[in-house]
Structure 1
């Protein structure tokens, strides 16, 4: 396990340092050999350094765009989510409720990480410690907050972690129930509140104000991508996100591909907006969507919907309309080849959404012979740029209006 942990930290360190103006590779990641506390201390410091910096949100080097996220009525009720949250909290013991409850503006929102368990300390109440009623209430909250697709994908990611447990001799680093829930604020029809799910390869931040919903940052990933043995043999994740992304790139003309391509080779993990990157400066790069044909634009929207449609029905349409309103200021970037079996990275980026897909190096699957990125390990990230991750722009407006 020490070898696995070291590889994971090396991979994560390359991507997790804040780098305002350029990518920064960590040349000397911490040596964890013989030091059980090394990884934990390392990630704790990464988190502390990130939290110390006041939240601004992901922006370009031109600064934050304002006026993008007005408080408004959507007409799509969030009452079922409120009721599910109240039932979940009611099912908790007093001790559990205390551990899971935070103020609406608490930094707990920003305290999440996609790495496996034991090397990053999570807060809240895990599925592992819940009784059967509490677990049913937890999944009921997810069911009312997510679409059927989003719930299925979340559960399949959890199953993938159980597969890693099997592949690593029952290691405590992996488990389908090591996922923690926290609540920020109190469930309400008028006041802001939200919930967070935090665990290996699955992080959901879910903010609600009235009938508005912001579901970001969202991290979803997995390894192995297709499970070939064990309890969940046949489990498969991210095939559409992978295949539709490649199909879109392959549909481009040579000139379009050249403009979209940031690099023809992919030798490392590329994702820029994972944990502790709340204030990352990411410029628009690649191919502007204004240069796509109508059919290509439709294909891009279908690809985007693979991520947005994890939100509950109704609110997914609202978010897609927001994205369409900024389509002419949307960019598509690519790293890697375009062969049918390619490993690659792509990014969809506009003022109101940032989506990343990244084939990663092998970490949790033992004896994987791939030294570089592989299709067997995928990370995806969805962000709301310009200050509205965690619904913070909406929260700021609400607090100003109501003089809290």
Structure 2
């Protein structure tokens, strides 16, 4: 079983925080801005909000938030409650937090940003529900969400950034003309359904569960048997927090064997996950899925065929893997992730970028 990465905040020496600050604040080299197109909009939006965010920080805060692009922390990610690399919300004032969430919205859609805020709110709800018992386990703190920026030498492309804490990991790589890669993108919810209190009944990731059950029940008995890969689900997503997803065999029901109505439902579910990203990034992901062959997607299911019992599903194709798991805490604890099988953390596009524009 793969264990989550444990993060240790690195100690910084030298001038790198000053370099990235100078570049983004306009005191040195400006980030390249491609002419026109969605990719240019991605870069312009991220660079502008990065400048705004960094301008709110003092020197110490910038040093905590800024890293070179090739630092190993860029490709380490986790979704358990622990300290991360970067500047935490608890180290920011109200204005800085507002700028940080504006920055987050350059990689996520309006819905995605709302989900991120909801996950952070759930952390406080979970702390209240656990009460004194939480002292025996990991801290539940809505202020332990961390923003980290990564930039190339002299503040050049490629760029990257992450926003991460318990049940949330947003990893963005900006490659200029190639636009943004928003992957891995993890979102979870505990409790999946709030049992009591002012927010009782709230289901932050309701659509991710409901649309999948609708698709499962649209399948005929033969199709459902083909889609079901296990009677019991794992207690977590299968890929955990590996930096790169290795070869996973296709399993379950191929979209090629679905009816038109079932394929449309599968697309709705896939678009729900892609819709967490900024529009341009989502469009590029969906276009690549279609180019690789939508009919090659596989829908796999494990566990119960009804809600409120442990269940798992995934959507797996040549370029994408979406996983959903609701098996912990009496099936009231959801983990979901979007993996770009070619371009997590930039991946193949990043290698192509370096081949064409060598960096020291």
**TM-score greater than 0.5 by the shorter chain:** yes
Which range moved further: 154-163 or 169-178? 169-178
**CA offsets 1:308-355 (integer angstroms, 9 cap, x no match):** 001112332222222222212211111013235543111101121110
Q: Among residues 346, 359, 381, which one is paired with 2:326 in the alignment?
A: 359
Does the CA contact (< 8 Å) of 1:204 and 1:219 recur in 2? yes
User: What is residue 393 of structure 1 aligned with on the other side?
Assistant: 348
User: Distance between the aligned counterparts of 2:240 and 2:73, measured in 1?
Assistant: 16
Q: CA deviation at 1:244?
A: 0.5
CA distance in 2, matches of 1:304, 1:188: 38
CA contact (8 A) 1:222 1:237 kept: yes
Partner Cα separation in structure 1 for residue 245 and residue 149 of structure 2: 23
5+ long unaligned stretches in structure 1: 1-13, 18-41, 46-70, 363-369
Structure 2: stretches of 5+ with no match in the other structure: 8-33
Q: Distance in 1 between matches of 2:54 and 2:151?
A: 12
CA distance in 2, matches of 1:197, 1:152: 14
The 5 A counterparts of 1:215-254 are: 215-230=182-197, 232-233=199-200, 235-254=202-221
Q: What do residues 170-205 of structure 1 show as CA deviations (whole Å, max 9, x unaligned)?
A: 757012221001011169997210210110000010
1:403 lines up with 2:358 in the alignment: yes
The one-character-per-residue Cα deviations of 1:155-178 (angstroms, maximum 9, x if unpaired) are 111111011111233757012221
In structure 1, the partner of 2:80 is: 115
Deviations 1:197-253 (A, max 9, x none): 110000010111115111111111011112244465554211100011111111111
Q: Which has the higher contact order (CA 8 A, sep 6+)?
A: 1
Aligned to 1:292: 258
Query: Which residue matches 2:53?
Result: 88
Instruction: Say if 2:254 is the partner of 1:275.
Output: no
Asked whether the 8 Å contact 1:82–1:188 carries over to 2, the reply is no
* TM-score, normalised with respect to structure 1: 0.75
The one of 312, 337, 345 equivalent to 2:312 is 345
RMSD of aligned Cα (Å): 2.6
Per the TM alignment, residue 292 of structure 1 is displaced from its structure 2 partner at its CA by 1.0
Instruction: Find the aligned partners of 1:168 and 1:265 in 2 and give their Cα distance.
Output: 27
Pick aligned residue for 2:285 from 303, 319, 322 = 319
Pick closer, same or farther for the CA change 1:204–1:187 going to 2, 3 Å: farther
**1:73 & 1:396 partners in 2: Cα distance?**
23
Q: Name the CA shift for 1:107/1:74 in 2 (closer, same or farther; >3 Å).
A: farther
Q: What is the deviation of 1:291? A: 0.8
Count of residues in Structure 1 that have an aligned counterpart in Structure 2: 326
Give the one of 268, 278, 286 matched to 1:302.
268
Q: Is the 8 A contact 1:218 1:382 kept in 2?
A: yes
1:334 is the counterpart of 2:289: no
TM-score (norm 2): 0.83
- Match of 2:106, SS state, is helix
Paired residue secondary structure (1:115): coil
